[in-house]
Amino acid sequence: MKIDLENLVAQARVARKNAYVPYSHYKVGAAVLTKSGKVYTGCNVENAAYPSGLCAERVAIFKAASEGEREMVALAVVTSNLGSPCGSCRQVFSEFADDDAIVVLAAAQGNRRKQFSMAEVLPDRFGPRHLK
């Protein structure tokens, strides 16, 4: 499967515009590409009761999973400064992604990027295979 990272990042940039961040003011947009070729987007949504908010990455992944998608091949995350997914988001993505899945971090403005494999962002990950 050819992965169009430019399109994935572009969709994450659009999703970032909808971020609800009245407390941190740190907007994040995410887009996940599934093995079926569909893209699901998400933005971070904060809440006055801080733990009740949700990261952009998990919003996108949960949208895909809620539509029946179980195999994800790439995740783009757009922030102002190439912020990386938190541990919870890495773990959730790993539930649906193989070791060679791509994680790309992109700046909201310009062309700054970093790219990793799932195995690089969460080595020796815990997953479904451990529960068999």
**Could you write out the three-class secondary structure of the chain?**
CCCCHHHHHHHHHHHHCCCECCCCCCCCEEEEEECCCCEEEEECECCCCHHHCECHHHHHHHHHHHCCCCCEEEEEEEECCCCCCCHHHHHHHHHHEEEEEEEEEEECCCCCEEEEEHHHHCCCCCCHHHHC
* Catalytic pick among 57, 67, 69, 95: 57
Q: Would residue 6 show up in a list of annotated catalytic residues for this protein? A: no
Catalytic residues: 57
